[in-house]
Amino acid sequence: MNIKGHEVEKLKDPTGIIEGDRYEFFLDLEIDEEDELYSEQGVYLKVIFAVDDSGFRIAQYQFLEENTNKALDFEMEEEEEQAVLAYCGEHFKTVL
């Protein structure tokens, strides 16, 4: 799994209940044809990325099929999760 690009938006919390900031990432993925996650439709990853005083983390994520937006029932492997965490940690600062 390789990240080809992304879209990111800062989520607004009008209630102020959630501490810190939340960002919604849509990561364009390149999946090897041999991977069980592969789909001819294409696959992207929706990530809710949380940033607060203690650092940052992935609050939740979901793999989705590109053309249908159908949810795919897969979990990230540990090294994939670390790569996504690092990627989001590097790119959330670009949101104005």
Quick one: pLDDT at residue 2? Answer: 93
| Long-range Cβ contacts of 70-73 (<8 Å, 24+ apart) | 72/37, 72/39, 72/43
Quick one: pLDDT at residue 96? Answer: 63
What pTM does this model have?
0.90
Q: How far is residue 18 CA from its own chain's centroid? A: 19
Quick one: pLDDT at residue 95? Answer: 82
Quick one: pLDDT at residue 15? Answer: 81
Quick one: pLDDT at residue 73? Answer: 94
pLDDT in tens, the chain (96 residues): 899 999 999 999 878 777 889 999 999 999 999 999 988 889 999 999 999 999 999 999 999 999 999 999 999 999 999 999 999 999 998 886
Q: How far is residue 81 CA from its own chain's centroid? A: 9
